[in-house]
Amino acid sequence: MLKKLFICLFVFFIHNHEPADGQKKKETLLSEKVTQMMEWTSKRSVIRMNGDKFRRFVKAPPRNYSVVIMFTALQPQRQCGVCRQADEEYQVLANSWRYSSAFTNKVFFASVDFDEGSDVFQMLNMNSAPTFLHFPSKGKTRLSDTYELQVRGFAAEQLARWVADRTDVQIRVIRPPNYAGPLLLGLLLAVIGGMAYLRRHNLEFLFSKNVWAFSATDQIGFVADGDDRTKRAYMRYGLKNEIWF
């Protein structure tokens, strides 16, 4: 009788040991992955991933964190001007998150460069850069997990809105101080002042069409500028030099 009980217990133990052990392994693996992602993020706000890292930390389960990835082509020989501008904005966004008091391990920012992870581009059937994708912490990837770059542009504020929509994480975009605007205004005023001074005996120039046209275009440029740098870049280049593979 006792022997039978032992056997029963033994069988019971064997049967239950497996899943419990698997669960524990999964938990350990997950916490290792989260620790690793946190360590990378502490070094640079945007984690650079090649194919291996992407498969391990984004594609393969278990994962309880969201990953936003910019697929890009930053090597000079790729000549992707838009990639560089988008990268700047993406860094602003990732830094705003990394140094925010609300920072958690819920969302990580990463990038995959075509020249370091072309296998990932192939795997995802991706043929243009830059492209932003969100990999949700759970559930399937939806259409809205692909950022509509052509429609929304790549300003950090727009990207933040999309991230908030996809992950519930609100990021307040904080830009490093930009002295270009005030400097330019100062220069413009100095030039106008200088011209007025030199021509003080001949104020007719104020009515010259050319001078007005010059200052008018400058004003327009400046208004667009004040908003955000990207808008200007976006208006100037459009997305014409986005690249296709």
Ligand X SMILES: *[C@@H]1O[C@H](CO)[C@@H](O)[C@H](O)[C@H]1NC(C)=O
The binding site for ligand X (CB under 6 A) comprises: 27, 30-31, 34, 64-65, 105-106
Shortest reach from residue 168's CB to ligand X, in Å:
11
Q: Which is nearer to ligand X, 64 or 219 (CB)?
A: 64
Q: Which is nearer to ligand X, 32 or 227 (CB)?
A: 32
Distance (Å, whole) CA 202 – CA 199: 5
Q: Which is nearer to ligand X, 104 or 208 (CB)?
A: 104
Distance (Å, whole) CA 52 – CA 228: 36
Q: Which amino acid is at 168?
A: D
Shortest reach from residue 65's CB to ligand X, in Å:
6
Distance (Å, whole) CA 70 – CA 114: 11
Q: Which is nearer to ligand X, 64 or 75 (CB)?
A: 64
Shortest reach from residue 15's CB to ligand X, in Å:
26
Residues whose CB is less than 8 angstroms from the CB of residue 80 and which lie 6 or more positions away in sequence, other chains included:
72, 73, 74, 129, 130, 241, 242, 243
Residues whose CB is less than 8 angstroms from the CB of residue 166 and which lie 6 or more positions away in sequence, other chains included:
66, 68, 134, 136, 144, 145
Distance (Å, whole) CA 8 – CA 23: 23
Q: Which is nearer to ligand X, 20 or 143 (CB)?
A: 20
Distance (Å, whole) CA 226 – CA 229: 7
Shortest reach from residue 35's CB to ligand X, in Å:
8
Shortest reach from residue 62's CB to ligand X, in Å:
8
Q: Which is nearer to ligand X, 38 or 185 (CB)?
A: 38
Helix (H) and strand (E) counts in the chain = 9, 6
Shortest reach from residue 66's CB to ligand X, in Å:
9
Q: How many CA atoms lie within 13 A of 242 on its CB side?
A: 16
